[in-house]
Chains A and B, each alone.
Chain A
């Protein structure tokens, strides 16, 4: 047998039909659904008299629109948001799919809830009408975002029409230095490859620095594969993966666990597998980074300075000019002198328990800068509960942070958590696009520890100075 990559193996195990031109029907093991990209798909089913083919493999949770303020039990004020969440309530009920409503303690961001509940398992195909579905790749699952038409297609057939992507290996060798996290890895990779570097590829992240990451860290890395253009990013499962999965509500048990484990242990890239593209970074070369512009590829170590448009070539010259104007930044300004108005800790990128621990470790015994607006939005109700149990919530509250309920919140600002024009935010989310966190809002992406440091000093800060 010819050597295969991990992606090749998962792909081959899921082809339900292959046409002569290589177009495949790929079987989908888990379909995650949220309120924003699904109403039109369910409506499509109703109009054509179709049903959900595999409701037991379909899991829904509202996350994008939900308020995260403590009074949310009183309902959603914004009418359109409320209608969208109510539509999901009704669709989940009508079509008999698994559902975690807003009132359920297990509710949260779909990409945090899936792994937490054991829906996401190694070797699976996982899709969702959300580009950050790549998160689930941390388990060695082939996971990617789809559009609403494809959501309808998966609901109706449990398959997707796909052609195979190319294989890309991203290796992070050696050890990370203190203060450097999974977020710094994933941003640094995008900084190197660009936002289109992964287009047409599935990325496998490997190397000692990746192996050393916890499952939470691996999810952060895979989450942003899409920001590098790759539909999916994955990491081969290992003992850490099995330990995370074992005992979760929907993980296999007893004899099925043993059978699953035996298969999972075959899920790795063969030594002499073919790679269409290879990127290598030395772990020791990665610094704590921040973004300065309006594309996730605009990444620099915190010790750097705002670049000038002339530093670039091609279309990037105009893009950098536009970014600097939007961000209100002058070339040559040291990044650690950029003042911050707001800090947002949360999102499917960095809303897990380890992220809250890292931020709390910096904040313990400290206060946020006067006038700073700072919020922590845990990724799920269970993350929130655990953080309260560990005393992290109190650290955030004592420091002056708002301690919120779970949801996507200010990552994309579909709920009331938004930036005002010109408001500058240190964010642990995934996109610094123009207007992403609110019209005219200015986003700098970074790790939870870096965001916490900025909250204390009031400007972008090298977290290593506070450790």
Chain B
């Protein structure tokens, strides 16, 4: 997993609420056995018409947002299916950070496993950044994970919360499984206890 420390990038506005993971990456692209290559199909049904032509009005098809690295989104982003193909598609497109008032739990957790930082901000602050993002490629938003701050293109600074363990893993690009395997004795002693107390498991 790539580290995430600081990011200064173009932010694309997507003010819709309840953007589900079926929208982020439709099911026909879940047939892959790889993690890579899904960026071209990110938001596929919103991005292309029936003949596979780009729909010009969709935000990521607009010239100023083609290189967006941040997505400013509406409430309950990433709801529905647990498919990790959603963060894989975002990452493959180049999105490293999402800013929204709230997320669905599974999507939120999946982001951190892939070096994407999902930031929760109050609706009023998201509204300000949404307006900022609407300015297009002239408006770069800065995200500093270490300092836990977002700076708008006007220099306004917002602080955000992040779970300390998840922050540590992102900053250092750490592999969760490696960290857990360091605690293997805890797991095996739990299993010994389990075999005695609930042998049917």
Give residues in A with beta carbon < 8 Å to B.
16-17, 19, 21, 23, 25, 27, 29, 36-37, 39-40, 43, 48, 50, 53, 57, 64-65, 78, 80-81, 83-84, 87, 121, 123-124, 129-131, 144-150, 152-153, 156-159, 161, 163, 165, 195-196, 199-200, 226-227, 229, 231, 251-252, 256-257, 259-260, 263, 295, 314-316, 318-319, 322, 412-414, 421, 431, 433-436, 439
Contacts and interface: CB of A to CB of B under 8 A. Distances in A.
B177 A439 contact: no
Contacts of B114: 149
State the main secondary structure of chain B at its contact with A. loop
A159 B188 CA distance: 11
Q: Which 9 A-B pairs have the closest CB atoms?
A: A252-B200, A149-B113, A80-B31, A147-B84, A315-B17, A147-B110, A39-B33, A16-B190, A145-B82
B18 A295 contact: yes
Contacts of B82: 37, 129-131, 145-147
A434 B45 contact: yes
Interface string B174-201: 0011001101101100110010001111
B181 A157 contact: yes
B181 A163 contact: no
Interface of B: 15-18, 20, 22-23, 26-28, 30-35, 45, 50, 74-76, 79-84, 87, 102-106, 109-110, 113-114, 163-165, 176-177, 180-181, 183-184, 186-187, 190-191, 194, 198-201
A376 B16 CA distance: 35
B32 A80 contact: yes
Contacts of A256: 199-200
Contacts of A257: 200
A55 B36 CA distance: 28
Given A80-B32, A259-B199, A17 B22 contact: no
Contact of A40 (B23, B33, B181): B33
A263 B200 CA distance: 11
B54 to A, nearest CB: 16
A153 B177 CA distance: 6
Nearest to A45: B177
Contacts of A64: 30
Nearest to B179: A161
Given A150-B109, A433-B20, A263 B84 contact: no
A37 B83 contact: yes
Contacts of A29: 201
Contacts of A149: 84, 110, 113-114, 176
Contact of B177 (A50, A229, A316): A50
A57 B27 CA distance: 28
Nearest to B113: A149
A50 B177 CA distance: 10
Nearest to B186: A17
Contact of B180 (A21, A48, A153, A251): A153
A84 B33 contact: yes
Contact of A37 (B15, B84, B186, B201): B84
Nearest to A155: B177
Contact of B165 (A19, A37, A226): A19
Contact of B106 (A27, A146, A314): A146
Given A149-B84, A315-B74, 10 more contacts: A17-B186, A83-B31, A146-B106, A148-B35, A157-B181, A163-B163, A199-B76, A231-B106, A260-B198, A263-B198
| Residue among B17, B163, B183 with max Cβ neighbours from chain A (10 Å) | B17
Nearest to B17: A315
B180 A161 contact: yes
B113 A147 contact: yes
25 contacts: A16-B183, A17-B186, A25-B180, A25-B186, A27-B187, A40-B33, A65-B31, A78-B31, A83-B33, A121-B200, A146-B109, A147-B106, A156-B177, A158-B187, A165-B105, A195-B76, A196-B75, A200-B105, A315-B15, A318-B17, A412-B27, A431-B81, A433-B20, A435-B26, A439-B45
Given A146-B106, A433-B22, A25 B33 contact: no
A58 B194 CA distance: 17
